[in-house]
Structure 1
């Protein structure tokens, strides 16, 4: 089907503006170093679509957590999921995973200092004590492995210098925002340094429970990190690090968008309000430890070892109806732990580079929830006079081992060839249980209910099985780049990746018996053409790419009401294939020695080719991809002026995200495009000891929906933050 691209006015206007003449100064655009190919390189040398932000850029843009990166990166969705403040929904170029259910794998990999974070719970990390953040777009299966078929986000912390330092940063703002970060380091000896950082982030709710007064959309997060770095010799560097995050924010409840089928309801006055009968209790705990050792064997050879363990624990409440009745309530818990080990060998020759390694992952994820369905008192009052509860619980164990190599060879002074490959072997074993209980709340969550819980024994077992499966996958990469001159490089690549197969923890074997067999991996194969350029005496950085992705064996969740079981039957099947194509443009222009302009534009065209449901291809009914607006854009001006012996940086931006589909199929939750206006002023003292920043976000106070639930005639929406203004300051002692 032929489609016409319609550019948003922001994109067209900024393209025209950036085509005007510029005034040039002696200084140029700062060089950015990235590790997208697991070795340090200039951003402009890497034949990969990657965006990077250093600490100053993060401060000037008011970036407080990973979700603030979304507007600065083309074709990228990074946002808070529906129920908590710290669960991440991530999509890049149309590929990701919006369901944080245990056992499901993400489509975008999150990494902290090269340690893979397997679960989305707790992945909305606050940005503090950070050196840079990198966003890699497109499949990264060769170097980063499974579950990076959309891309990867790398959170890179600072290395210690050994200097004795103490930094205090505080912030106040809208909705009683109260932030505090304390970070410091010191040298224990000539070969040992220790550092730490503690961050508390709090604000009151944007809304409330209209019945109880409990806050909604509040924030209460405490996190910390400590590291010990050793340099026993010039050839050996060792880091032992530990981190922990505790999110005690209230569970987030959605806004009831339409009357319930047995309404009418009186909608709250604000989209941030709700009337849920469920308690607001919520807890998300995450912690981890890592040991990294980097040994320089010779001038050309080095060996790195990365050993890590992580664990998480979540207890939360989800209300599908957001009313003061238990029509459709879901108390839930998740637990996970992981151990990873990577050995990486790097070789640098005169005209060649090799990065190779082996990777081991061992993980356990478990959880359970009740679908408390008091709606059956209305639907089938004679059959279920006490209501109905469906309990779902289970666990999955994963063992994965991989070997990879990425070889770059300079054919001559202009041409470079890249060949890479990774073989991964995944083993999974799972146990799944699903049963109906007469009444409200199963024995698993009986303590959550102040009434009489359901009977201890189920009235019907729908799913009860254990199974295991193994998958092997090879992910190759081939690329070539050509250095046109000192200012520009073009590249072409073919890269692949896959998202692991698994077992559906919600699967209803009584209706869909094939669920016990699990589902296979899904794959993405991407062709990409790009250009990296620094033009006009280093005054303009212009990076652009076009891509085409074949997305096959898509893991599609099929969930329908089942008259046979009087509940919701679910299964994940490999039912889909699609094509994704698009373009990305990033331009940074140093117009004068004080004025910079930044423009980001992304276009993604998604097209379902086949989605099989019940033996019928329903691709035409599915519309666009979820969480993947066709167009994203950012126009930004940055002006620096000398003030009081330091620099005052003024920053203003307008960002646009096109219409977005929340689920795989169209629904009432789908949103129109939204344009947000942000502005800020940041002062850096001349001696580098202190800084202050005033940041305003969503200054037009736009109301926009970014998530929701749509089930059993119940439609509840979740919304982005309203207008906020914050003043932060930091001082280095």
Structure 2
């Protein structure tokens, strides 16, 4: 039989309204362990807003990639970025980064175990070989560092048991979905374990290029992970791990919202295109890590995490979705990173400490061409970053039921950037001409607009102070003040001839957040109700403003031109009605308002709103288990809601009205626990909804959409 962990969200009001009686229920919710504070703790003891989604929940909710986690966490946006298949756009509580251009920093940190993933390319990870996924909301600057001012998402993999375990899983579904997962681990000796997992995800497109018949919105991904774990003594643990993902899904082009550049009509199917560009697309990401843990004593543990990651992207974006080079953008990205973290964890009788030193060395490089008719704007460059930080987080039980949390982190960032921007006569620069425009003459330089190398450094201290009160074994209240910052940088698109100050770069942005929260277990541990009230003051916001130049090209300036106030509430609840029936739900409400948005000397805050931040997110689901044929059938109906969403800070044709997605899954577990079989229905009402896009006016307004209705038959077998 399966082991079910149910701890999610808030259907309490729904159940109470239905007149549910709890007097007969013997069911109880299980304890949930998280590592949100870089050590194992019960979810109910962690004084921060965190959601944890277990492997069982991932299976029973039919969650296949990182973006579907957004419905399980309030005030969270995780979407596939515009014009891509596996680049992640992440926002939490109104803070994030939509533009995946090299050199720009994210506002939500992504982690594989304890390793920071610096670039969003390839971050839409498919779910396999995972123990749980944690979503930490609010600034995590003390323990996790820069670029977590909105929060962090942690992908936690499983440790091996030493037993020989082999499993195979597959899925067959709509649009010729064909997924296969293989996983195996065994003990080579009493203290040495080896494991590997490989997964192939394939699906035909939701649409097609009507000129060539090639797929649009298809899936062609191969991912693998291997690990070696060694425990020579009870106090020593070592893990060597490596992973690689190759995404060959077709390049994705947007749906034109208006008449094309040559008078082409709007296509009926929002997933179709008529692009002149080929469908070739490649995203490769890989990484290695070495983790060493040494328990020096019952109270002191030293941990080291050494990691490297690299990624490569070759893609094309057709901004006009027509059969001529009206607005083509071929692009390449190349990045690599090396990080080293050393932690000291101390546990005393009434206090504990997590401290460490973190070093990061990374390079993000790339190039793209904006080919418009017979001309090209060529942009390329790179950013080298070195970052060093030291941190400490101290928790002191100063009275029987009271804890004081004190933390701080100092980070020093050094960056050096090379930036090049020129206009060319002809189609394509050196990197793209032969591949896409070889039937036209070679391009020649028209105007050199930017060509500089510059460097800068920033230092930032991010403190945290909090207090929590354990009212009794079932109730914990907390209050905290925390800060976070996103690193400064240089505008890779900067046009120095139009804005000479672009070579000076832009400064970090910061956020100060006050949070009041609670963790409640009630009704003899059958009802769990967690929540938080928060207010954030967001300053020196890095905003991109667009201008039209006399040569009819556009320039975007990145400026520290914004201030905003963000406040809201988050509720998560679980209710165990009986041994066989539970309800989960969450609710997020956020009021995000610009206080200042400077355009030159004019404050235009009244005309701007926070992007990718619906004011209301909600999810409600039931989890019903039934004895069947000697095993157990688990049925999970769910509905998730997102209110009106503005894709950019300014209103546009892309803005999405509120919508609800309805899902239904049924999973059968065999009596011996060796196999399961599931039927998963996603977006059953076939809701059409936009998740991203580009707005350049008229023929160049294009949108990207979430998946239509899909049905899949899934299964797995443990040997």
Q: What TM-score comes out, normalization by structure 1 length?
A: 0.95
**2:26 maps to what in 1?**
26
Residue 644 of structure 1: how far off its partner (Å):
2.1
CA distance in 2, matches of 1:95, 1:454: 45
Structure 1 runs (4+) deviating above 6 angstroms are: 10-13
Tell me the SS of whatever aligns to 1:444. coil
Cα 1:18/1:99, change in 2 over 3 Å: farther
CA distance in 1, matches of 2:286, 2:469: 44
CA distance in 1, matches of 2:18, 2:161: 40
Task: Indicate if the aligned counterparts of 2:433 and 2:442 stay in contact, CA closer than 8 A.
Answer: no
Tell me the SS of whatever aligns to 2:380. strand
**Are 1:462 and 2:446 counterparts?**
no
CA distance in 2, matches of 1:575, 1:314: 31
Q: Note the residue ranges of structure 1 that are not aligned, 5 or more in a row.
A: 1-9, 375-386
Tell me the SS of whatever aligns to 2:56. helix
**2:680 maps to what in 1?**
695
Equivalent residue runs for 1:112-131 within 5 Å: 112-131=112-131
Cα 1:60/1:717, change in 2 over 3 Å: same
- Equivalent of 2:704 in 714, 718, 732: 718
**Are 1:589 and 2:575 counterparts?**
yes
* Bigger relative contact order (CA 8 A; separation at least 6): 2
Cα 1:23/1:725, change in 2 over 3 Å: farther
CA distance in 2, matches of 1:24, 1:294: 46
Tell me the SS of whatever aligns to 1:59. helix
Residue 21 of structure 1: how far off its partner (Å):
4.0
**1:384 maps to what in 2?**
none
Task: Indicate if the aligned counterparts of 1:314 and 1:334 stay in contact, CA closer than 8 A.
Answer: yes
Residue 441 of structure 1: how far off its partner (Å):
1.2
CA distance in 1, matches of 2:47, 2:98: 29
Cα 1:390/1:18, change in 2 over 3 Å: farther
Task: Indicate if the aligned counterparts of 2:542 and 2:558 stay in contact, CA closer than 8 A.
Answer: yes
- Equivalent of 2:410 in 393, 417, 423: 423
CA distance in 1, matches of 2:23, 2:248: 51
CA RMSD of superposed structures (Å): 1.4
**1:383 maps to what in 2?**
none
Task: Indicate if the aligned counterparts of 2:11 and 2:584 stay in contact, CA closer than 8 A.
Answer: no
Residue 358 of structure 1: how far off its partner (Å):
0.2
Residue 454 of structure 1: how far off its partner (Å):
5.7
**1:573 maps to what in 2?**
559
Cα 1:69/1:457, change in 2 over 3 Å: same
**2:5 maps to what in 1?**
none
**1:162 maps to what in 2?**
162
**1:380 maps to what in 2?**
none
1:564-622 per-residue CA deviation (whole Å, 9 max, x = no partner) reads x4311122110000000000000100011111011110001111000111111111111
Task: Indicate if the aligned counterparts of 1:84 and 1:249 stay in contact, CA closer than 8 A.
Answer: no
CA distance in 1, matches of 2:375, 2:607: 32
CA distance in 1, matches of 2:359, 2:72: 33
**1:353 maps to what in 2?**
352
CA distance in 1, matches of 2:18, 2:549: 57
- Equivalent of 2:614 in 629, 636, 639: 629
Q: Note the residue ranges of structure 2 that are not aligned, 5 or more in a row.
A: 1-9
Cα 1:509/1:18, change in 2 over 3 Å: farther
Residue 458 of structure 1: how far off its partner (Å):
1.0
CA distance in 2, matches of 1:425, 1:652: 48
**1:443 maps to what in 2?**
430
Task: Indicate if the aligned counterparts of 1:525 and 1:550 stay in contact, CA closer than 8 A.
Answer: yes
CA distance in 2, matches of 1:39, 1:499: 25
- Equivalent of 1:610 in 596, 601, 613: 596
**2:525 maps to what in 1?**
538
**2:335 maps to what in 1?**
336
CA distance in 2, matches of 1:101, 1:86: 14
**1:638 maps to what in 2?**
623
CA distance in 2, matches of 1:327, 1:163: 59
Cα 1:671/1:134, change in 2 over 3 Å: same
Cα 1:13/1:275, change in 2 over 3 Å: farther
**1:379 maps to what in 2?**
none
Residue 547 of structure 1: how far off its partner (Å):
0.3
Cα 1:18/1:611, change in 2 over 3 Å: farther
Q: What TM-score comes out, normalization by structure 2 length?
A: 0.97
Tell me the SS of whatever aligns to 1:458. strand
CA distance in 2, matches of 1:75, 1:633: 9
Residue 114 of structure 1: how far off its partner (Å):
0.7
Task: Indicate if the aligned counterparts of 1:441 and 1:454 stay in contact, CA closer than 8 A.
Answer: no
